[in-house]
Amino acid sequence: MKILLATYWLIPHVGGVWKYMTQLKEWLEARGHEVDLLGNSPDYSKYHVLNRGWELPKDLLQPLLNAKLNPGSAPALFASPLIAHYEMDRYYLELAAAYFDLNQYDIIDTQDIFAARALSRVKPRHIPLVAHVHGSVSAELKRFFQLNPQVGVTEKDPAWKYFESIEFYGALSGTPTITANQWMKNLLVHELGVSNPNIEVIQYGVDAGAFWNKMSQGTTITKPAGKKVIICPARLSFVKGVDVLISALGILRSLRNDWVCWIVGAGDKREELEQQVRGLSLQNDCLFFGEREDVPGLLALSDIFVHSCIQDNQPFSVMEAQLAGVPVCLSNACGLPEMAKHGRTGLIHPVKDPVVLSEHLQLLLQNEPLRLKIAREAKNWANSHWSMEVMISRLLGVYHKALNLNY
């Protein structure tokens, strides 16, 4: 098969969607298929098929769109700058996809609701479209609007309704639509009212061989003597809840000092989070490493993994921590409770609750047998549950089914 993996988001990019796409491409090609990657360029200037070197600059498309879509012809679209931004870029994607000739593909597999909606409108009728929904854009942005009233978007604003609508129509675009967990499927069906009967749950997989190979390469970082390492690999954005972890560390520091925390990642909240660390006098205890390529090596030195997000789907970082045999402390946001069993393969705390998180950290630091037991069970769970072979086999079954339905 010739397969197009398409996304509205940036490629290449640091994040779960890009990691999923590259991992999927590698495994599908190992089974004899041909895979292309379509997405936004890192500077937003063009859409490109990255592995082919094909590109279409947006400034060439802008006059075409402006002639049809402008404040005079589409006043509702331009009443909200936020809606205008997302919709215009989605139209750029439609035009670029059509330009790159979708007739050459047997299957189109989109990786977000915007790409699903866009490509479903321009693809040839006979080519099936599989729509992966890796997370809820509407839920994430509504939470952002609620936590940031200065943005000025409330439930009565068009932008609030827009993201619910685009998620609704995006999830209806696939035959089938695929989610990684039951939480996301339930959200689409019960909260957004998506009546697509072809929603399937296919969990992610981890390429264990590649992970162990990277881990064997180690890291230049040295574990401090006499300290347990708490690690948090995460994008430094509001949705990842790193501020909750830092607050928990402030509580933990008043109880004990036999630990250090490594925060691995970049993002627009770094300065704000560093200020929070200074305010709690944690400069020597909580270290920011920025983006790194040696996270598996860092996990090999770590004793506790934390993912204190306020919203997430099924993060690769959690799967990798479990595979490495590091006990995980997770919030109960969204799909995370499906990734660990509390007290057995991890510890789960309420969203935005630094007090309970600090209690879980204290428990794992003071109870070594429990920490090691959870680590062993998490590793066993990861080896049996996060199988790439199973994920690829199930996905190929979906592809073949979609092809049969369309012919």
CB-neighbour burial class of residue 222 (10 A; exposed 0-12, middle 13-18, buried 19+) = exposed
- Measure CA of the first residue to CA of the last residue in the chain; give whole Å: 15
Q: Is the separation of the CB atoms in 313 and 245 below 8 Å?
A: no
What are the helix (H) ranges across 240-387?
A: 242-253, 270-279, 295-300, 316-323, 354-366, 368-385
Report the DSSP pairing between strands 54-57 and 46-49: antiparallel
Token pair in block for residue 241: 């809840």
pLDDT in tens, the chain (407 residues): 999 999 999 999 877 899 899 999 999 999 999 999 999 999 999 999 999 999 999 999 999 999 999 998 999 888 889 999 999 999 999 999 999 999 999 999 999 999 999 999 999 999 999 999 998 888 888 888 887 888 888 888 898 889 999 999 999 999 899 999 999 999 999 988 898 778 999 999 988 889 999 999 999 999 999 999 999 999 998 889 999 999 999 999 999 999 999 999 999 999 999 999 999 999 999 999 999 999 999 999 999 999 999 888 888 899 999 999 999 999 998 889 999 999 999 999 999 999 999 999 999 999 999 999 999 999 998 988 888 998 999 999 999 999 987 65
Instruction: Determine the pLDDT at residue 198.
Output: 82
Candidates 386, 248, 250; CA nearest to 317 is 386
Measured CA to CA in angstroms, residue 237 lies from 17, 61, 140, 240 at distances of: 16, 31, 12, 6
Q: Tell me the three state secondary structure of residue 295.
A: helix
Cα-flanking dihedrals φ and ψ of residue 352, to 5°?
60, 40
pTM score of the predicted model: 0.84
- Can you tell me which residue has the tokens 């699903």? 116
In angstroms, the CA 203 to CA 183 distance is 12
